[in-house]
Structure 1
Amino acid sequence: MTRVLVVDDSPRLRSVIGNALATGDYDVVTTRLDDDPHTHLESTGPDVVTIAVTDQLADGLEIAQRLLATSPTPTLVVGPDETADRARTVDVATHDAVDVLATPSDDETEAFGTELVETVDELAAMDVATLAVAHTAATARSLGTSRAAPQRALADDARGCVTRSSANTTPDRADRSPVEPTPTHATAPEQRSSPVSAPSTTREHSPVDSPTIVVGASTGGPSLIERLFATLPAALEATVLVAQHMPEAFTPRFAARLDAVSEYDVIEPTDGDRLRPETAFVAPGNSHLGIEIDSDGHRRVALLEEDGRRPTPSIDVTMTQVAGAIDGPLCGVVLSGMGRDGVAGIQAIKAAGGYTIAQNEATSSVFGIPAKAIETGCVDDIVPPDALVETIIDAMAGEIDE
């Protein structure tokens, strides 16, 4: 059931909106505009917020923007039909996460109710990626500064990579030269550092027969990753790690969305979770997804703190950690996004003998991450999204059959 929080400064609007929502299957919670909407957001966890104002539409939009920056929820603003203010403010400030309806007159309530229900349903079905973009933009605006993701140039430390053009061409296991891990010191989760180097461990553990797949993406990535999970067969029995640049408020929803469309068990992990086949781990938005190996040789999630020097979660951190900890079939995938996060990761996976894939330019919303990875010469295959799952299956089947 869709839960709607109705925030208003008018008994009349409260009645009109409440009566309209009563026609649908909604759980409605109401509060006055002079109360703190944040408190009600935290206590009720609504799917959609409606804000009704009687004076200035811009005031309602300003409230919506503040809520979006701190408690990101799709929001409908109902207020006076001031066309100029509406067009200017909605276009600049809301990034599709906030819609606007004009306050109805007494003879317009029936038509308004129909439109209200349709709008609430559309907002409730909003894509996580769209809301994440709106949240990031609103947060940046509230701070009065641009918050472009920090980028850091990473040194090219893998040489002699060869690009292959066929999806059926897999690396020769005899040529593998696994990356030896760089020792680090395990600490409490909140104190963990987040180096690009591999985790602290020896490689004297049982081989992994099922494949490990690491997927990294930024802008344009969520929908591509959802398509991948919708078609990735459980029969492959892979362990999948996902590093998608996304604010922490959205990664739990993103994981839940992937879980709903996939044959895999998709989760946002906690520190120490054991890696296992037919399970996917989505990096939390406030930390990097690393790996450590316990005394029994089991690979476990190590959540590493954000260090301010690279996008969080970092593709490089996850890929390099996996390259140093996994000795079975391994595949690294980089998809659409801005920047060069993933360059060191793809190099590490290639150096460890893994198979590497990048999205092609024609289908990339932003051809930054894939392009930088391809420039290293360490990418085995360049494919469109429709060919991604087949390419992974072909590459990993060849590894497992060896």
Structure 2
Amino acid sequence: MALKGKINVLVVDDSAVVRQTLQQILQSDSQIGEVVTAGDPYAATEKLESFVPDVITLDVEMPRMDGLTFLKKLMSQHPIPVVMCSSLTIDNSETFMKALEYGAVDIIQKPSLGTKQFLEEAKTRICDTVKAAASVNMKTHRARFKPMQVAPKLTADVILAKGNESNKAMAKTTEKVVLVGASTGGTEALRVFLEMFPEDSPGIVVVQHMPENFTKSFAERLDSLCRITVKEGENGDTVLPGRAIIAPGNKHMLIKRSGARYYVEIKDGPLVSRHRPSVDVLFRSGARYVGANAIGVIMTGMGDDGAKGMLEMKEAGAYTIAQDEATSVVFGMPKVAIQIGAVNDIAPLEKICQMVMGAYRGRR
């Protein structure tokens, strides 16, 4: 793990254009140092004899050896944070779900031509993802493995425009909603968290930083493992007990209220706190429309997305929990939320569900 100095990166991709583009993007960031490239896993193995990277970006489909095979060998012999690099099509989403299960810490989209805004967002996402990967506690990350069974930093104000004030949060009632935010390391943390919930759990709404086309497979995987129902969010979905809704990749998700019914709204918009979906957008909508009926949970992840939104939730009467440092793959988002006074309690991952259910059943 890179603690001091600049982050060194090994880019493994059979496309010379992709290698060159990633190298240029990464070297444009002042926190990233040497960027070495390799055309396939065999070439990467030779590079690793003399170059020790803090992060590896890895393509899946390559000659001589595919990325998944190389990833498994790497994790068993020389665990280094690996970010999978993909064209992000629906067809390969299952493959990349396997990559996360095998030990990859995140997924990024291969850079491609597009509008200036798209290119700037791609640059921001790629550099931020690689820097987050360099902060990963690999010991904690590997313990979670489970086999298959630079843009402006905008605030949530750009998504949460002033609306109908009559639909703001009601006074505290017995109907509670759990709002969850996570980033790097969150795919496995959410699996651990959601698998613990009984069928009579409160409704759960989740933002996990994840690219477009992958959240559907992620939700389906969780649905197959959990007692509760898990689905990718669609505009207008009702928040129901015993169901978790995962924000779709590349879309913001808010929670709203109509009478006594809570539902999600899916929206386009710019990056917020450098992300889309943004935890801040979800949490601030929770403060506005759910208020004291909300239970907020902030989990592993780099940066500060969700911290300010969680503070607003707490000030609105919500009960808020942060994952502790010992069980976080990256203790960034929870740390900032704790530092600004947004958190009621701090707990290890395995205890958070119990605390949520206690609050839901009125034992807090």
| TM-score w.r.t. length of structure 1 | 0.57
Q: Is the 8 A contact 1:259 1:266 kept in 2?
A: yes
What residue in structure 2 maps to residue 135 of structure 1?
Answer: 108
Q: Which residue of 2 aligns with 1:217?
A: 182
Choose which of 308, 317, 329 in structure 1 pairs with 2:293. Answer: 329
Q: Is 1:300 aligned to residue 263 of structure 2?
A: yes
2:254–2:264 CA contact under 8 A, matched in 1: yes
Q: CA deviation at 1:242?
A: 0.2
Mapped partners of 1:284, 1:379: distance in 2: 26
Could you tell me how far 1:315 is from its partner in structure 2?
0.8
SS in 1 for 2:14: helix
Q: Is the 8 A contact 2:169 2:290 kept in 1?
A: no
Alpha-carbon offset, residue 350 of structure 1: 0.6
Task: After TM superposition, give the deviation of residue 384 of structure 1 in Å.
Answer: 1.1
Q: Answer with 1 or 2: which has the greater Rg.
A: 1
Distance of aligned partners of 1:261 and 1:390 in 2 relative to their CA distance in 1, 3 Å threshold: same
Q: Structure 1: how far apart are the matches of 2:300 and 2:169?
A: 36
Unaligned runs of 5+ in 1: 1-57, 70-79, 104-120, 156-181, 183-192
Shift of 1:293: 3.1
**Aligned-partner residue type, residue 269 of structure 1:** G
Q: Does 1:231 align with 2:196?
A: yes
Distance verdict in 2 for CA 1:254–1:96, change over 3 Å: same
Q: 1:313 aligns with which of 277, 288, 291?
A: 277
The answer to whether the Cα contact below 8 Å between 1:268 and 1:282 also exists between their aligned partners in 2 is yes
Report the alpha carbon displacement of residue 133 of structure 1 after superposing the two structures with TM.
Answer: 2.7
Unpaired segments of 5 or more residues in structure 2? 1-10, 23-38, 67-93, 129-150
Indicate the residue corresponding to 1:189 in structure 2: none
Query: Which of 370-379 and 297-306 deviates more?
Result: 297-306
Structure 2 residue aligned with 1:42 = none
Change (3 A) 1:384 1:223: same
Instruction: Return the match for 1:126 from 90, 93, 99.
Output: 99
User: Contact between 2:179 and 2:204, CA under 8 Å: does it hold in 1?
Assistant: yes
1:265 offset after TM fit, Å?
A: 1.3
Give, in angstroms, the shift of residue 395 of structure 1. Answer: 2.5
Between the aligned partners of 1:62 and 1:284, the Cα distance in structure 2 is: 29
Q: Mean Cα displacement is larger for which, 323-332 or 378-387?
A: 323-332
CA distance in 1, matches of 2:97, 2:285: 37
State whether residues 198 and 320 of structure 1, in contact with CA within 8 Å, keep that contact through their aligned partners in structure 2.
Answer: no
> Contact 1:265 / 1:278 at 8 angstroms: preserved in 2?
yes
Shift of 1:397: 2.2
SS at match of 1:393: helix
Partner amino acid, structure 2, of 1:62: S
SS of 1:135's equivalent in the other structure is strand
Q: State the partner residue of 2:159.
A: 194
Q: How far is 1:379 from its partner?
A: 0.8
Q: What is the CA–CA distance in structure 1 between the aligned matches of 2:112 and 2:102, rounded to whole Å? A: 17
The DSSP-based 3-state class of the residue aligned with 1:214 is strand
